Amino acid sequence: MALIWLPGRLAADEWPQWRGPNRDGVWKETGILEKLPGPRIPLRWSVPISSGYTGPTVAGGRVYVMDRLSKPNEVEPVHCFAWETGRKLWTREYECSYEVQYTAGPRASVSIDDGRAYALGTMGHFHCLDAATGEVLWAKDLRAEYKARVPVWGIAAAPLVDGGLVILQAGGTAGACMVALDKKTGQEKWRALDDRPSYSAPILIEQAGRRVLVAWTGDSVAGLDPASGKVYWRYPLPPKRMVINVPTPVVDGDRLFVSAFYDGSLLLRLRQDEPAVEKLWRRTGASETKTDALHAMISTPLLDGDYIYGVDSYGELRCLDAKSGDRVWEDLTAVPKARWATIHMVRNGKRIWMFNERGELIVSELSPQGFRELSRTKLLDPTQGQLPQRGGVCWSHPAYAYKHVFARNDRELICASLAADENTGARSFSPKSHH
């Protein structure tokens, strides 16, 4: 995995792409506060932005996010802010008319690598920008070049940078569901799979002594050689009703887990003698309200040893026995029960930090004995343009970097300190103090 390395700064202190430095939802900083400060956390800064689902990313002392403006013209801006103050450093925008449901804005987080920002829009506009200035280095229109099939809710899978390549779930025809481009020039290096696209971001894993790119498309879970696009293995997983694969695949040891709203859960064994897979179990329910093991919608589950933790289709936080998929417990206190209710889970040491769709930040512990809430605070208000009948929702994944949390809704991007050794939000915090 390509990471940003800057003099005097640890890469683990940054959040340069979707779900963190290694795309695994792990936050490694220490010196984090033990308890959240009351019902509402003080903010270090707040800056105005417009609507969108793009979770912020943080690297090189800068914060990146995308949003959408519809008046006077329909545009998708990419914004860059100084992390310490929220001062806007640059904005780059392009015209973009939406032809999807849920038109609030871009979905995919901006990926930062080697001084470049890779921004993928809802309708397939893909830009490589200078991360410091916003200058366009090169650009692609995935619909024009690959005849990309834009899913009903828009293109959502964040770009993955690996070595000299940037890898996309482009959703193209003619064997171009997955595409790898030269990260410096945009030249195509390989294409793979005839599958329909999904919303799920690809990941890199180690298997059988090789690096394997795992892509959960609209029709399968597949393992590819990230350098060439060669298909090592492919497990067909066509949807019962429609392509609605949103969570990122998760891996623990030799097991890989995926879960979808209509299609339930699948656990695969990653063979270690060769790059191949075997089904361990598959669990599906009778309907979206009569689910079996876990039917995740937006929340990426956590696979942790003998147990799986995740949020089911109506907000049920569940623990499963990883050996069978049997339910161990269910809890309804982490997020209100509602269709597509969402929690984003990030591990920091033994604790799980959760950001739920009400805009609440929760510090917790998860075990086979249950969900233990340690503290909870309000981080920001829900996006009002989305599901207003239940007071709006927060569906964007936060970023954790420099001992701070960064989150957004349809009106603001905010930053709040989580450092244990300072009065939260009350005084300046320098990244020099944590290396």
> What's the pLDDT score for residue 422?
67
Range 367-379 average pLDDT: 97
Range 374-384 average pLDDT: 94
Q: What is the rounded CA–CA span in Å between residue 311 and residue 340?
A: 9
Go through the chain and tell me how many residues it has: 435
**Least confidently predicted of 195-204, 222-231, 384-393:** 384-393
> What's the pLDDT score for residue 388?
83
Q: Is the pLDDT of residue 424 over 50?
A: no
Q: Is the pLDDT of residue 9 over 70?
A: no
> What's the pLDDT score for residue 72?
86
Q: Considering the entire predicted model, what is its pTM?
A: 0.94
The encoded tokens of residue 65 equal 């996010």
> Per-residue confidence at 408, pLDDT binned at 50, 70, 90?
very high
Q: 361 vs 19, 33, 334, 391, CA distance in Å? A: 16, 13, 10, 17
> What's the pLDDT score for residue 275?
97
Sketch out the chain's domains with CATH numbers. Answer: 11-434 (2.130.10.10)
Is residue 129 within 8 Å of residue 92, measured between CB atoms? yes
DSSP 297: S
Share of the chain above pLDDT 70, in %: 94
pLDDT tens digit sequence for 339-356: 999 999 999 999 999 999
> What's the pLDDT score for residue 386?
79
Range 262-270 average pLDDT: 97
Q: Is the pLDDT of residue 434 over 50?
A: no
> What's the pLDDT score for residue 390?
87
Q: Is the peptide bond before 236 cis (omega within 30 degrees of 0)?
A: no
Q: Is the pLDDT of residue 429 over 60?
A: no
DSSP 26: B
Is residue 23 within 8 Å of residue 163, measured between CB atoms? no
> Per-residue confidence at 123, pLDDT binned at 50, 70, 90?
very high
Sign of CA dihedral 371, 376, 380, 384: positive
Range 384-409 average pLDDT: 92
Q: Is the pLDDT of residue 433 over 50?
A: no
The encoded tokens of residue 91 equal 């904005």
> What's the pLDDT score for residue 78?
98
The encoded tokens of residue 26 equal 């792990």
| Mean pLDDT of the chain, nearest integer | 92
pLDDT tens digit sequence for 313-332: 999 999 999 999 999 999 99
Q: 372 vs 264, 343, 368, CA distance in Å? A: 25, 15, 11
- Comparing C-alpha atoms, which of 407, 374, 296 is closest to residue 32? 374
Phi then psi for residue 390, to 5 deg, are -120, 25
Q: Is the pLDDT of residue 428 over 70?
A: no
Is residue 215 within 8 Å of residue 190, measured between CB atoms? no
Q: What is the rounded CA–CA span in Å between residue 349 and residue 33?
A: 12
> Per-residue confidence at 1, pLDDT binned at 50, 70, 90?
very low
**Least confidently predicted of 44-58, 147-161, 376-390, 418-432:** 418-432
pLDDT tens digit sequence for 76-112: 999 999 999 999 999 999 999 999 998 999 999 999 9
pLDDT tens digit sequence for 153-196: 999 999 999 999 999 999 999 999 999 999 999 999 999 999 99
Q: What angle do CA 48, 53, 57 make, to 5 degrees?
A: 75
- Provide Rg for the chain, Cα atoms: 20
- Go through 43-67 and write b for each residue having 16 or more CB atoms within 10 A of its CB, e for each that does not: bbbebebbbbbbbbbbbbbbbbbbb
